[in-house]
Structure 1
């Protein structure tokens, strides 16, 4: 409907269109579009405060208690917009439950944590927002802020809101895993200082070091090793950080790990692969760069896997001529 289009636009003209529509067809304030959005949802989503206030002057209670098809409340929409004024409008309308979860389990605090907005965070504290609510991926607002690298927000969620440092996601990842695989060194350090275990594995037996290596974050890798993680620590399948860095084609991390004395002869997985076997089985310039570093560091191309294939066999199949020389 035209009212939905006008509510999604930021302009004086759009405001007057909304006002004219409401003068003629007041009931349209409660109409939903094909996506399940009421006009108020779209206005708050875009941070259109004037339109939102105008809409709420009609059937306020029905709007303030409404949700869209995804279970988002007015407070979800307002927080997602990042507009403090929009959030205040939602609260003034009576939508002030910061712990109400939408269809995927996220609260208004999850949305604020994603934005990293310190002022909105203060407002969430006044609304008694719970930092330990898990969404359907088992992520709390602390996890969300950690993924985004918002160290200050993370610290406040833990220190002020009482967010748990032991919360883990569905795959068993700790907050350190989350920060490490997202490349946020300062956030990872903040977790370590607050007692998040350095050596706690996820369900695959991987530590933060493996997560950082797989994602290619050198600075995090260096920090975790400096903090005491053994460079050759292994996952449940016997893979080291060197294995996973090679598998992901992260040549700079491979170089870093080799510089810290990573053992290139460790065998991992059901096939008993060395890091060089993995490099030989991949294609592309990153894989070749990893392979050359491993060869120059003493990698043995003629050592067989459990199935009898050597690096030379794997390289020949993948056209890695440099390894075959």
Structure 2
């Protein structure tokens, strides 16, 4: 066997062995592995063969939760079409809907919104999907969640709203400034203070975020 043919055979054998390792175990384990890998045809085949859709790993994560964590849109689509619960929370209170929103995984977020996402559900910090989306500067995600009807004035356990997080945890750049504008336009209260009594406007002034200050003042911030 020539060296090149031997190398090609080795690559093929390695891929075969990896496939066998990846999809070893019970059908539900294989389903979760296929979801992680984004192997939508394998996901569909396992479901058709009877794998339990809502089975969980040691961290309480369903196949859909795992597909979401890895932003595997095709696999998520197959799972959701089969009836996967978009609100099923894992051991740290993440759900596919909440995680997609927080991470800016908009394709999966849209799927969850179209299939029963609980807009009032909260994460381990007591926040809706909108709050971490605002904090992380996901402008399109924030727009989607506002349009869907998420409460823009929800207060988490730190006593922060989405507006507060966009200011305090953002960098004052274009994305976070745009998010502040979107939230205010959607009815965010500019005078909901944090646990220490500081308002969004006071935080923006303290940080020198001039554009945010102007937006807050125009919205009646004090």
TM-score class, shorter: 0.7 to 0.9
**Secondary structure at 2:146's aligned position in 1?**
helix
**Secondary structure at 1:132's aligned position in 2?**
coil
For the pair 1:64 / 2:20, whether they are aligned, the reply is no
CA deviation map 1:8-32 (0-9, x unaligned): xxx741443688xxxxxxxxxxxxx
What residue is the counterpart of 1:228 in the other structure?
Answer: 187
- Which residue among 127, 136, 144 is the counterpart of 1:173? 127
Bigger CA drift: 167-176 or 78-87?
78-87
Indicate conservation of the 8 Å contact 2:65/2:95, yes or no.
Answer: yes
Whole-angstrom distance in 1 between the partners of 2:204 and 2:93? 27
> Per-residue deviation at 1:208?
0.5
> Per-residue deviation at 1:155?
2.4
CA RMSD of aligned residues (A): 3.1
Pairing 1:29-108 to 2, within 5 Å after superposition: 43=18, 51-52=19-20, 63-65=24-26, 73-88=29-44, 90-91=46-47, 94=49, 96-108=51-63
> Per-residue deviation at 1:215?
2.2
What residue is the counterpart of 1:255 in the other structure?
Answer: 210
Q: Are residues 95 and 77 of structure 1, via their aligned partners in 2, closer, same or farther at CA, if it must alter by over 3 Å? A: farther
Indicate conservation of the 8 Å contact 2:153/2:161, yes or no.
Answer: yes
Q: Are residues 82 and 232 of structure 1, via their aligned partners in 2, closer, same or farther at CA, if it must alter by over 3 Å? A: same
Q: Which runs of 5+ in 1 are unaligned?
A: 1-10, 20-38, 44-50, 68-72, 267-325
> Per-residue deviation at 1:152?
3.5
Whole-angstrom distance in 2 between the partners of 1:90 and 1:12? 28
Q: Which structure is richer in relative contact order (CA contacts within 8 A, separation 6 or more)?
A: 2
Pairing 1:167-316 to 2, within 5 Å after superposition: 167-213=121-167, 214-216=169-171, 217-242=176-201, 244=203, 251=208, 254-262=209-217
For the pair 1:119 / 2:74, whether they are aligned, the reply is yes
> Per-residue deviation at 1:227?
2.0
Indicate conservation of the 8 Å contact 2:204/2:213, yes or no.
Answer: no
Give TM-score scaled by structure 1 length: 0.55
Give TM-score scaled by structure 2 length: 0.77
User: Number of paired residues?
Assistant: 207
> Per-residue deviation at 1:106?
1.5
Whole-angstrom distance in 2 between the partners of 1:228 and 1:163? 22
> Per-residue deviation at 1:91?
4.7
CA deviation map 1:162-215 (0-9, x unaligned): 121111012110121122112122222222222211111111221100111122
Indicate conservation of the 8 Å contact 1:180/1:220, yes or no.
Answer: yes
**Secondary structure at 1:13's aligned position in 2?**
helix
CA deviation map 1:99-137 (0-9, x unaligned): 122222221111222344442223102432111111122
> Per-residue deviation at 1:78?
1.6
CA deviation map 1:284-321 (0-9, x unaligned): xxxxxxxxxxxxxxxxxxxxxxxxxxxxxxxxxxxxxx
